[in-house]
Structure 1
């Protein structure tokens, strides 16, 4: 098949949807499909490039705004952008346009599908729910555009049932055409060749780890409170890998809670460094206020490290409490703290969670994910 993957973001940018689409493109290409990636150009400038054997189109996707100046800029930029999206379409002539993480990419892809009478498929990665900016709550354009695409789509997928439920409740998804396709992971991705000291300068003892963008929805402030409440001792550190707008607040919270010297914020880490961070941790926490799926849970299982994960959102759909992880409401600080302390104090429980998690993650490879999508493509 000829498949266009229209994504909100793509490599070299990093994040969940970027990894999902990059790995999906690679597997589908190796299986003989003709693949092109259409992604939103962050600088608004059109370009083309080859990445890992896949043609990547960086396409401007201007949208109308309310101010007169912005409306004028949109009127100038939109015709050229539309022409460039059509150019990408003509180059591939796709059998299906597959949208990932709906945004401006989805608006343009939906318009292309309508213009050329091409099959449209939309995959939501939780963007309607796990967004500090609340775009789909406040933007009439985003709401209308997503509803239109959901209506036009032959099939809609979500990374969890809770994501599909939101699309049904707020955006008119017919449950008969909604399917869950979980995220995947590279089981063979290895830790960086660097030593742990180079990744975590100053960390010499045990530590609790977390990774992700430092934003409110990820709940790292809740983790700081729970870690302090757990009273693990001065020789245990809390390491939160990633960067974002909450960085300064997390540092301030740690000082206020008396653990300023124990909090380590190493900033943005490479994928190898993330693998190493999780592999060497005493436990990994995923404390999100809401998590559509939780790739960090899969990364923790791969690292064979005990997992403590939020019960808000998708994780309860694939994590079994007290078998391969501990499910916890991160806003219940006392319970959260007790779970952290229990995992660090109970080596038998920690080992059981880690070993069961490593076995469980075998079911979440990118080959599994690609096969699920292929089965849906075959219905067109």
Structure 2
């Protein structure tokens, strides 16, 4: 197959979950003999079109900052979408399928415009469906975000969701559920397992963005209830708008001396090293379109504790390789106590993690891509 991926940002020149997914799937498909082209912004050094890791990178728009403060830049997304249409249309006969990442929506609409009156299928990858989350993200502009999300969902496409819960949410505003394929996000299990444990690790670890949905405040209180009985320590990796509030809350805990905030770690392998050192990975987040840290922690042989919540795909990821807890202080404390007592999940976490290895994910994606033809 001759496959196009559309993404304004391109891994590894810009690092993020959506662009890493494209890179991991695309490089494996290229190794299998497929012809891969990525249309994006010119974030790399070198000519606008060049070969890289078996793929063709084609810049259709110049490098530009993609964030405006804490939020993705709307003007950036509009500019990239405008710049995409003509080059993609000009080369459309050279491609069999077009795969576009949904967020920030506008490139999907441009990709559809470029494929109109052709037989080239448009495949979309939905990492999340925001719905009411737009209210907190855009404030007074939330209706605009909701409208674009609905328009994108109803655009003719072959949708892929990264989890069943994301597929269910998408079906509420767009295509029928039976028309939505599920291909999860992935991990490099071998890379994770090669990392040595951190020498200054913790018994319990959290890693993620410090925002209210992650419920780190609940984790702190739950940990405080069980810490003394097990002589346990807690490490918090990450940064975000809740950072100062959470640090202040931690100082008021009875066992504040057992909690360490490490901030954002620049090196991915440093995060993995702390996962290897920990016995438990706890993240009672109530909003997860997938939850890649759960898969990473299982590959590092952590007992994972996640929230049992209708807005979280955690149950799909951890299966029987971890524990689900009510996102309350009591629920998380009970789960921590079970794990600290040495109780292990029904399925070995490392075995569960194999399901999400990029080799397996790429094969599932390839099957869906072929089906659209």
Match of 1:317 in 2: 316
**CA–CA distance in 1 between the matches of 2:254 and 2:48?**
50
**CA–CA distance in 1 between the matches of 2:15 and 2:191?**
16
1:179 Cα shift? 1.4
CA RMSD of aligned residues (A): 3.5
- Superposed counterparts of 1:199-278, under 5 Å: 200=200, 206-232=202-228, 235-266=231-262, 267-278=264-275
Alignment equivalent of 2:190, drawn from 188, 191, 194: 188
Question: TM-score if structure 2 supplies the norm length?
Answer: 0.81
- Superposed counterparts of 1:294-373, under 5 Å: 294-312=291-309, 313-320=312-319, 323-330=320-327, 332-344=328-340, 346-347=341-342, 349-350=343-344, 352=345, 356-373=348-365
**Against the structure 1 CA distance between its residues 193 and 275, is the aligned structure 2 distance closer, same or farther, given a 3 Å change threshold?**
closer
User: Does the 8 Å contact 1:306/1:325 carry over to 2?
Assistant: yes
**Against the structure 1 CA distance between its residues 295 and 136, is the aligned structure 2 distance closer, same or farther, given a 3 Å change threshold?**
farther
Match of 2:286 in 1: 289
**CA–CA distance in 1 between the matches of 2:42 and 2:132?**
22
1:283 Cα shift? 0.5
**CA–CA distance in 1 between the matches of 2:132 and 2:50?**
31
SS in 2 for 1:157: strand
Match of 1:151 in 2: 154
Match of 1:163 in 2: 166
Listed one character per residue, the Cα deviations across residues 149-169 of structure 1 (whole Å, up to 9, x for unaligned) are 333333111111211111121
**CA–CA distance in 2 between the matches of 1:341 and 1:77?**
46
Match of 1:67 in 2: none
**CA–CA distance in 2 between the matches of 1:285 and 1:328?**
10
SS in 2 for 1:248: helix
**CA–CA distance in 2 between the matches of 1:163 and 1:269?**
29
Instruction: Confirm whether residue 178 of structure 1 aligns to residue 180 of structure 2.
Output: yes
Q: Which runs of 5+ in 2 are unaligned?
A: 65-73
Match of 2:67 in 1: none
**CA–CA distance in 1 between the matches of 2:358 and 2:237?**
24
Q: Which runs of 5+ in 1 are unaligned?
A: 63-72
Paired residues, what number? Answer: 353
Alignment equivalent of 1:125, drawn from 124, 127, 131: 127
User: Does the 8 Å contact 2:192/2:300 carry over to 1?
Assistant: no
**CA–CA distance in 1 between the matches of 2:77 and 2:22?**
27
Instruction: Confirm whether residue 378 of structure 1 aligns to residue 370 of structure 2.
Output: yes
Match of 2:37 in 1: 36
In terms of mean alpha carbon deviation, does 90-99 or 215-224 score higher? Answer: 90-99
Question: TM-score if structure 1 supplies the norm length?
Answer: 0.80
User: Does the 8 Å contact 2:84/2:111 carry over to 1?
Assistant: no
Listed one character per residue, the Cα deviations across residues 262-286 of structure 1 (whole Å, up to 9, x for unaligned) are 3222222422112211111021012
**CA–CA distance in 2 between the matches of 1:50 and 1:318?**
35
